[in-house]
A = this chain, B = another copy of it.
Amino acid sequence: MTQPIETGPDFSKAELMPAIAQDLQTGDVLMMAYMNAESYAETVATGRAVYFSRSRNKLWRKGEESGNVQKVDSIYVDCDRDTILLKVTQIGDAACHEGYRSCFFRQVTPEGLKVIGERVFDPAEVYGKK
């Protein structure tokens, strides 16, 4: 093998790259967020998913407010090493801040978006919104 040793995502290609969180048990795609090198490194070091929030422009330790952390079982990269796949155990059963198991809780139908996901918690209670 003449390839250089590749150890993980290639952040020289993209400072921020998509990271997909998939439920380890069910295989459901829970969410997609972004990681930079720092959040990726912390994810690997801690075994908990840490993303980079583009809107808040800082590390986003998933579950830091809600307690719904993601325990990372395994990490994969795609062929270009510019997309990350995490297999996770979602604590609290809901990845979505809107209280659904998965952020992909709506299906596109000819009649518009249809909620197909299961709501696990009430965001108003968890995040204290009125």
Contacts and interface: CB of A to CB of B under 8 A. Distances in A.
Each complex incorporates copies of this chain amounting to: 2
A108 B44 contact: yes
Given A79-B98, A104-B78, A113 B6 contact: yes
Given A103-B78, A107-B75, A85 B29 contact: yes
Interface residues of A, number: 36
Interface string A64-88: 0000000000111111100101000
A78 B105 CA distance: 7
19 contacts: A5-B112, A6-B112, A6-B113, A7-B108, A8-B113, A18-B18, A18-B32, A20-B20, A20-B29, A20-B32, A27-B27, A27-B28, A32-B32, A75-B107, A76-B107, A76-B116, A77-B108, A78-B103, A79-B103
